[in-house]
Amino acid sequence: MEKSDPEKLQRQARALRDRHRTLLLATADAEGRPEISYAPYLLDDDQAFCVYLSELAPHTRNLLARPEAGVLFIQPEEEARNPFARERLVLRCRAEEVTGPAREPLLERMEARFGETLALLRSLPDFHLFRLRVEEGSYVRGFGQAWRLVGNALEIRELRRG
């Protein structure tokens, strides 16, 4: 394992995140059964992920009942030299529904990023805006290259073991 600069690793983890317009989202239903899907996202001012989800999607109901989620960003297969060692960011997040005065500015920013589709979705009554705050996670660059991180800023804390 090479000795790596935490700030450089943090920049690399953020760069992987920022190359994506969508995130992979894992939630669990009331019985603990896993669900996985994806959602377009926007970073808020705290670098938390904001997602706008329909009640028709299982992960929306799951987040309303159990406000925990897993988020994954992963290097595309065609860019990886080895499918077992793809660069990835695996995050455990706490979800909160965004209501009140904070909601509209975030939706306006999402509409600016995602265009007319979001304008249409905003007219539908079954959509919820969630903020996903990173509690902890890991950044993996390949075999034997994994680091623990914390918080929305993706602060590298230590080499990940086990």
Q: Where are the domains of the chain?
A: 6-159
What is the C-alpha to C-alpha distance for residues 145 and 142, in angstroms, rounded to an integer?
A: 5
What are the angstrom distances between the C-alpha of 20 and each of 4, 42, 105?
24, 10, 22
What is the C-alpha to C-alpha distance for residues 141 and 160, in angstroms, rounded to an integer?
A: 12
How much is the pLDDT for 161? 53
What is the C-alpha to C-alpha distance for residues 87 and 66, in angstroms, rounded to an integer?
A: 29
5-35 per-residue burial string, b: 16 or more CB within 10 A, e: under 16: eeeebbebbbebbeebeebbbbbbeeeeeee
- Can you tell me which residue has the tokens 């500015």? 105
Query: Tokens at residue 69, please?
Result: 């989620």
How much is the pLDDT for 3? 58
CB 5 within 8 A of CB 76: no
As its CATH architecture, domain 6-159 has Roll (2.30)
How much is the pLDDT for 1? 40
Please list the pLDDT of the chain residue by residue as tens digits (162 residues): 445 788 999 999 999 999 999 999 999 998 999 999 999 999 999 999 999 999 999 999 999 999 999 999 999 999 999 999 999 999 999 999 999 999 999 999 999 999 888 888 987 788 999 999 999 999 999 888 899 999 999 999 877 654
